Chain A
Amino acid sequence: MATGAREAAQARGKWLVSGPPILYLLVFFAAPTLIMAAASLRTPGEFGGLAPLVDEAGKLDLNFDSFARFFTEPVYLEVFVKSVIFATATTVLCLLIAYPLASVIATSPKRVRSLLLLLVILPFWSNFLIRIYAWMIILGPNAALARGVNGMLAWFGAGPVPLLFSSFAVLVCLVYVHLPFMVLPLYANLEKHDPALLDAAQDLGAHAWQRFWRITFPLSLPGVYAGAALVFIPALGIFAIPDLLGGPNDTLIGNLIKQQFLETRDWPFGSVLSIVLTVAALALAGLAAWFGQRATRARALVDA
């Protein structure tokens, strides 16, 4: 009897704790996604918005035209592929830069560590757009960087290249903006590593590279996957950076979605593009979670 009451209280407690976040997700994620899915099957209104659900003849106006359009007009798929390439490049570059940084932070003395972490988070204290505008000045044709680069190129006999308004500028800024999202989960993981493992490996004759590749890296994989998901997913949908820093060819899927809701006033097609983006992001998050779990299991084996 008493245990039954305690179990019931426990179950109630569980619901009390998990209820609000579940409700939050239902209201702010599931419901908008369903609205978007419904909008993707409708027809755009002549002056924006959506055409009436039931047309003049009394027929229900639902169709897959907008989906068909995405898959039959190659240019939209091209933009999507390009966005995936940009997001992948951003993730890989972030990982290459963040890994050494996170290790340095994780292995530094405790007092320095919090200061270093603070420095990683510091950019968040100034507005996103201000940071992007700062890059516009840094990369501008009359700034020292562009002059230096083009001076060197001229020395090698190559013509000047623009740094601002280019794919290069977009990538630099994507990496810059997303770097902290890679550093933090990596640091959280690396900090927990037991230094005794590396000592043991060294005693057994493993050299530095082997110690990293056979011990540290496999153990850090959950952090790598978490960081990769945190960088890849927002990088895939971003529109402000290509809008402001991109050259004439740098349109990504985020810009395309923005166009559908503003200039073209085509909500159904905008919804289709958003759904494709959401599905891709969910698939990748699922994949990252799966890999992360496998890595954790492997780690449990090592620990045992």
Chain B
Amino acid sequence: MNRIAKLAACVLAAVALAPAAPALAADQLHLYNWNNYIAPETIKRFEAQCKCEVVQTYYSDNEELLAKIAAGAKGYDVMVPTSNAVEALIRGKQLMPLDKSKLPNLKNIDKRYLDTSFDPGNTYSVPYAMSTTIIGYNDAKMKELGLPTDTWAVIFDPKYLAKVKGRVTVLDSANELFAAALKYLGYSANDVDPKHWDEAAAAIKKAKPYWAAFNASSYIKELTVGNIWLVHGYSNDIFQANLDAEAAKRPFHILQGMPKEGAVLAVDNMVLQKGAPRPDLGLAFMNFMLEGQNSSELTNLIGSGNPNTAALPFIKPEIRANPAIFPTPVVAAKLEQLKDLTAAQRRLRNRLWTEIKAR
């Protein structure tokens, strides 16, 4: 009995002391980030500069982040959600306003990406990096089959799809796929007219028999090994697939195709979670990442778009010349950021989406 009592005392002591433990550890910045979304050398330099440790946890989509925060997850300093998720977080009162006096490097950001409708005046967020949702393709196969790669028609029109049946994947995301279909039909990606949604759903259903799968995870690998020739996917993923194909010395390249109808632009932004343990470190990190060279390293690593004008001189020339990553002004004007849907709109879209996927 005595031994058990001692053991219980030890456990109780451990439980009581546990919350105090982090305070004794070195200074830590808790970064809740996309996987592989900051260059390792950038982290090392920041850690040396702030004499702190960067602790990263990862999410694979905005919905995962929103679900976790809505369920009450705490303890993050900086998070990097996409604009529409930033809007949801602001309205859900989950963010902390930024002290701009601590962010002198904010001047480096291209004015086009500041003061947007998602966060007027950038009260809560500063742009980090960008990506687009576009077409990715196996250059050898597309050339052999004579298919266009600059239009959504190649993803939605059976006339083209007949030649690549079973070799196409589209993203397993209702928001992304509806946006692409709406663009293909000539509407805005943010169109919320239910009639237009029905048209988009009809276009998707017409094309579906030719698609191999709805896939948001393994299509990079399938492109790289040559099983899949054409995808609706994220620009960063397609860039990665090409790096992998080159590394494996495949006899083809995986290229990015920017549809002439326009596409979805995703701007990821740094924000501070409300109740962040170390907002001071968070702001120091943000200002650090707004420096040109630090920002450029991510673009050089994963081929992300970059809203930072001071980063441009540090970016590899072949990436700067890539029109899918740094679009021409004509195309840039047709890119749209997705807006958050209301609860009722989300329900309607989910019904359409389930009908698409289940039948």
Contact = CB atoms under 8 A, between A and B. Distances in A.
A140 interface: yes
A264 B349 contact: yes
Given A45-B343, A75-B359, A162 B350 contact: no
A249 B355 CA distance: 10
Contact of B212 (A79, A82, A162, A261): A162
A275 B217 CA distance: 29
Size bin of chain A's contact surface? 35 or more
A249 B92 CA distance: 35
Contact of B357 (A73, A136, A251, A262): A251
Contacts of B213: 165, 246-248
Contacts of B351: 73, 75
A292 B61 CA distance: 45
A249 B359 contact: yes
Interface stretch (A46-54, A176-184, A227-235): A46-54
Contacts of A79: 354, 358
Nearest to A247: B213
B212 A259 contact: no
Given A49-B70, A75-B358, A243-B172, A259 B225 contact: no
B347 A264 contact: yes
A251 B66 contact: no
Contacts of A141: 166, 227
Contacts of B350: 259-260, 263-264, 266, 269
A263 B354 contact: no
B177 to A, nearest CB: 11
A127 interface: no
A76 interface: yes
A302 to B, nearest CB: 46
A248 to B, nearest CB: 5
Nearest to B347: A266
B117 interface: no
A248 B357 contact: yes
A162 B215 CA distance: 15
Contact of B354 (A44, A76, A133): A76
A134 to B, nearest CB: 12
A300 B1 CA distance: 45
Interface string A239-269: 0000110111101000110011111111001
A43 B212 CA distance: 36
Interface string B328-359: 00000000000010110011011101110111
Contacts of A136: 218
Contact of B64 (A43, A165, A262): A262
B88 A48 contact: yes
A47 B357 contact: no
Nearest to A169: B213
A266 B343 contact: yes
Contacts, number: 110
A78 interface: yes
A49 B92 contact: yes
Contacts of B92: 45, 47-49
A269 B174 CA distance: 17
A255 B174 CA distance: 13
A142 interface: yes
Contacts of A69: 347
Contact of B63 (A45, A46, A255, A263): A263
Interface in B201-226: 208-209, 211-215, 217-218, 222, 225-226
B227 A142 contact: yes
Nearest to A79: B358
A221 to B, nearest CB: 35
Contacts of B340: 47
Contact of A264 (B71, B218, B346): B346
B173 interface: yes
Nearest to B61: A262
Nearest to A49: B70
A29 B289 CA distance: 45
A146 B357 CA distance: 25
Contacts of A44: 343, 346-347
B91 interface: yes
B20 interface: no
Given A142-B227, A251-B357, 19 more contacts: A44-B346, A45-B343, A46-B343, A47-B70, A47-B91, A49-B70, A49-B71, A49-B92, A75-B355, A79-B358, A142-B225, A165-B213, A248-B211, A261-B67, A264-B347, A265-B346, A266-B343, A266-B346, A266-B350
27 contacts: A43-B343, A44-B347, A48-B67, A48-B70, A49-B70, A49-B71, A69-B347, A75-B358, A75-B359, A79-B354, A133-B218, A162-B212, A164-B212, A164-B227, A165-B213, A165-B215, A243-B172, A244-B218, A248-B209, A248-B212, A249-B359, A263-B173, A263-B174, A264-B174, A265-B63, A265-B343, A266-B346
Interface of A: 43-49, 51, 69, 73, 75-76, 78-79, 82, 133, 136, 140-142, 162, 164-165, 243-244, 246-249, 251, 255-256, 259-266, 269
